[in-house]
Amino acid sequence: MDRPGQTARLLILIGAGLLVGAATARPPLKAARWLSADADLRADLGFAPSECLAKVKDAKTRYQIEVGRAAFRSSLLFGGQAGHAGLSCEACHKNGRTNPDFQFPGLSGAPGTADVTSFLMSPKRGKHGAVPKPIPNLSGPKSALRISQDPNRPELRAFIHGIVTEEFDGPEPPSGVMDGLVAYVRQLGPDHCPKPATVRLTAESRLEDARRAVRAADQAVVRKDLKTADTLVEAARDSLGVINERYAGEDLKPERAALKASAIELAALRQAIVAGDADSARRRAAEWIAGSAGLERTLKAAEARSLYNPDKLRP
């Protein structure tokens, strides 16, 4: 294990990422730091490809997919510097696909590439610099992918586990979260792509991500998997943070205050989970979901003034 070396590499690349961000006067969004110099900020930060996720009937698989979907979008899954930088699976695999404009100094070569396996595949080679590979489209044909997604084989789980804990220094994820990530990735595919092919990123859609995470957390509580529930509430909180940075500026103070109040309620929900108080956790989850409708109205009313307005994303 080369944790110190790994951390040093991340520190360097994050420093470089900050410099690039400053030099080009980009919008103050973490996601702006990992886009190549010639990326179209309006297209990349304002929109995303639609999510190609299968609709599944089986209740247990559906639950696992929701767990994985939330974890996939949470930067709190990753440790220290990668987490601080706001990286998540979704940074590279946008809505479960690829990201042709992803470029993070020290981690990427050409736009659309990243090095996530050199350390895994060869700890020694990991010390000697990155070997960036094209970011694969996880929603493309399974036959085009390298790692077997056969439910009877262990490779997919091992690969994802390595990305979280080794490449990005995350703490050991609860096994329910690992089950979720594997289930989510398996259920992505070209036959499930909705129309239109591109969706606008909005505060409402990100808040809905948070709501889905809290609903899954409630299910995890019912299943007595409190560790997974905790990770999911953290994922919801991370979504509020992502929304918060889009509501930058003095005139959007009330919206940020509403987000903060909502995050504080999530913290209380988390406390109930950590304390093992299932009844209180379930009640708080239901209350938070009900209260999120008001938050949504508040955010929506000011959305045109926020960095969810694509026209405000150009430098």
Distance CA 91, CA 34 (A): 8
| Smallest distance from ligand HEC to CB 207, Å | 22
Q: Residue 151 or 315: which CB sits closer to ligand HEC?
A: 151
217 binds ligand HEC (CB under 6 A): no
Question: Would you say 67 and 220 are in contact if contact means Cβ atoms under 8 Å apart?
Answer: yes
- Residue from 39, 65, 67, 135 in contact with ligand HEC (CB under 6 A): 135
Q: Which stretch binds ligand HEC (CB under 6 A): 42-50, 109-117, 215-223, 273-281?
A: 109-117
Scanning residues 173 to 202, which ones bind ligand HEC (CB under 6 A)? 181, 185
Place of tokens 């096994």: 175
Instruction: Point out which span in 110-118, 252-260, 291-299, 300-308 binds ligand HEC (CB under 6 A).
Output: 110-118
Q: Tell me the window of 131-139, 188-196, 205-213, 218-226 that interacts with ligand HEC (CB under 6 A).
A: 131-139
- On whether the CB atoms of residues 156 and 182 are closer than 8 A, the answer is yes
Q: Closest separation between CB of residue 93 and ligand HEC, Å?
A: 6
Least CB distance to ligand HEC at residue 146 (A): 3
What is the distance between the alpha carbons of residues 39 and 42, in angstroms, rounded to a whole number?
9
- Residue 162 has, within 13 A of its CA and on its CB side, a CA count of 17
Measured from the CB of residue 88, what is the shortest distance to ligand HEC in angstroms?
7
42, 62, 127, 133: which one contacts ligand HEC (CB under 6 A)? 133
* Closer to ligand HEC by Cβ: residue 18 or 293: 18
Pairwise CA distance, residues 62 & 52, whole Å: 15
Distance (Å, rounded) from C-alpha 95 to C-alpha 69? 9
By the rule CB under 6 A, 55 interacts with ligand HEC: no
Residue in the block written with tokens 């804990």 = 165
Rounded CA-CA distance 304/128 in Å is 46
Identify which of residues 123 and 136 has a Cβ nearer to ligand HEC in the complex.
136
At residue 178, φ and ψ (nearest 5 deg) are: -60, -45
CB atoms within 10 A of CB 313: 22
Closest separation in Å from C-beta 160 to ligand HEC? 4
Q: Which is nearer to ligand HEC, 116 or 201 (CB)?
A: 116
How far are the Cα atoms of 75, 95, 115, 196, 292 from residue 200, in angstroms, in the given order?
Answer: 21, 12, 28, 10, 20
Burial classification of residue 96, based on how many CB atoms lie within 10 Å of its CB (0-12 exposed, 13-18 middle, 19 or more buried): buried
- Shortest separation between residue 26's beta carbon and ligand HEC, angstroms: 19
Q: Which residues contact 253 (CB under 8 A, 6 or more apart)?
A: none
Nearer to ligand HEC, 10 or 203 (CB): 10
Phi-psi category of 200—alpha, beta or left, where left has phi over 0 and alpha has psi -120 to 50? beta
Using the minimum distance from each CB to ligand HEC, give the nearer residue, 116 or 259: 116
If the CB atoms of residues 231 and 262 are measured against ligand HEC, the closer one turns out to be 231
What binding mask, one character per residue, do residues 137-176 give for ligand HEC by CB under 6 A, x or -?
-x------xxx--------x--xx--xx------------
114 binds ligand HEC (CB under 6 A): yes
Cα–Cα dist 106/114, whole Å? 9
Residue ranges that bind ligand HEC, judged by CB under 6 A: 72, 87, 89, 91-93, 107, 114, 116-117, 133, 135-136, 138, 145-147, 156, 159-160, 163-164, 181, 185
